Amino acid sequence: MNKNSLLSMRDLSVEDIYSILDDARLFNCSFKDWQLPMQKALVANLFFEASTRTHFSFESAQYQLGCQVADFAAGASSVTKGETLYDTVKTFESIGYDMVVIRHSQDEYFKELENINIPILNAGDGAGNHPTQCLLDLLTMQNEFGTLEGLNVVICGDILHSRVAASDKEALEKLGSTVRFAGPKEWERPGYPTIDFDEAVEWADVVMMLRIQKERGSGMAGMTDSEYLEKYGLTKERYARMKDKAIVMHPAPVNRGVEIDTDLVEAEKSRIFEQMHNGMLVRKAVIKRGFGFAPFKKEKEVCV
Ligand code: CP
């Protein structure tokens, strides 16, 4: 496995995380136009599972960095003839690609790819990991509060099937924040400490709502959309009880009127679309790192 791959937040030290966040911020100001210096940076985006934000923010980041980008559609590839994931990725390596970005429904699919030599950036594996979503969440929180230490974060919804919950827990605890989980009992995850959501909205600096992952077998626990919203969702009443400076986050896509009242998606405390912008910035940073470039020098920062 290439040492510049990013597969899980476990791969990153605290110092690595802060370097990526600093680079992402610099990509928004002093280094907006920075491009990879080599002539050829051929990247393939292998999405075996649906995506809008992750796929196209990776693609936006790649074009802005001067990469040549290939999009792969599993349904139009030799995967339909039974080719394995390993053989598919090895093929991209063999025909000259320099990096691959992979999303796959299988937890830790990357364990099969240890003999791949080009860097792999994980764009989400089953209910396992979503490191770039985690990094964009961290950037959003750090921009808001100036620190990632001592924050109270509640993550509410389908915790059991959520790779975002898993990656954010791993990183936020490592960085000194307190993370609690809320939602239906059947979606609790062993080792993930719970809190009553009605109590949590007054305790939290960050209220992060999650989508019900129907594609991973989550039902609605016998509830209608409005029953779910009333019991476990972010209603206007709960929003009104949040701390003055608290924010609402959601990895999206959002099921409006299920986990969050539709009027709150772009409410004052919501950072949902800012998260998406930050996603493009952190992906530029992890692509640069993936190609082996050291972090930018911070003294060049002239951000306002
Ligand atoms: N948050 C996220 O991963 O969104 P997509 O599934 O659209 O990439």
The finding on whether 105 has its CB within 6 A of some atom of ligand 1 is no
Ligand 1 atom closest to residue 251's alpha carbon, by position in its atom list = 1
Q: What is the pLDDT along the chain (304 residues), one digit of tens a residue?
A: 999 999 999 999 999 999 999 999 999 999 999 999 998 999 999 999 999 999 999 999 999 999 999 989 888 899 999 999 999 999 999 999 999 999 999 999 999 999 999 999 999 999 999 999 999 999 999 999 999 999 999 999 999 999 999 999 999 999 999 999 999 999 999 999 999 999 999 999 999 999 987 665 667 767 899 999 999 999 999 999 999 999 999 999 999 999 999 999 999 999 999 999 999 999 999 999 999 999 998 765 556 5
Which of 51, 59, 104 for a ligand 1 pocket mutation test, highest count of atoms within 8 Å of Cβ? 51
What was the pLDDT predicted at 298? 72
pTM of the full structure? 0.95
Q: How far is the CA of 193 from the centre of ligand 1 (A)?
A: 25
What was the pLDDT predicted at 72? 92
Q: Give the max Cα distance, the chain.
A: 56
222 DSSP β-pair partners: none
Q: Please state, in angstroms and rounded to a whole number, the distance separating the CA atoms of residues 94 and 42.
A: 12
The finding on whether 283 has its CB within 6 A of some atom of ligand 1 is no
Q: Please state, in angstroms and rounded to a whole number, the distance separating the CA atoms of residues 155 and 1.
A: 32
What was the pLDDT predicted at 213? 74
Q: Cβ contacts of residue 16 below 8 Å, gap of 6+?
A: none
Which of 45, 47, 48, 52 for a ligand 1 pocket mutation test, highest count of atoms within 8 Å of Cβ? 52
The finding on whether 52 has its CB within 6 A of some atom of ligand 1 is yes
The finding on whether 54 has its CB within 6 A of some atom of ligand 1 is yes
Q: How far is the CA of 88 from the centre of ligand 1 (A)?
A: 23
Ligand 1 atom closest to residue 57's alpha carbon, by position in its atom list = 8
Alpha-carbon torsion 64, 68, 73, 76, what sign?
positive
What was the pLDDT predicted at 302? 53
What was the pLDDT predicted at 303? 66
Q: How far is the CA of 51 from the centre of ligand 1 (A)?
A: 5
3-state per-residue secondary structure call for the chain: CCCCCECCHHHCCHHHHHHHHHHHHHCCCCCCCCCCCCCCCEEEEEECCCCCHHHHHHHHHHHHCCCEEEEEEHHHCHHHHCCCHHHHHHHHHHCCCCEEEEEECCCCHHHHHCCCCCCEEEEEECCCECHHHHHHHHHHHHHHHCCCCCCEEEEECCCCCCHHHHHHHHHHHHCCCEEEEECCHHHCCCCCCECCHHHHHHHCCEEEECCCCHHHCCCCCCCCHHHHHHHHCECHHHHHCCCCCCEEECCCCCCECCCECHHHCCCCCECHHHHHHHHHHHHHHHHHHHCCCCCCCHHHCCCC
The finding on whether 119 has its CB within 6 A of some atom of ligand 1 is no
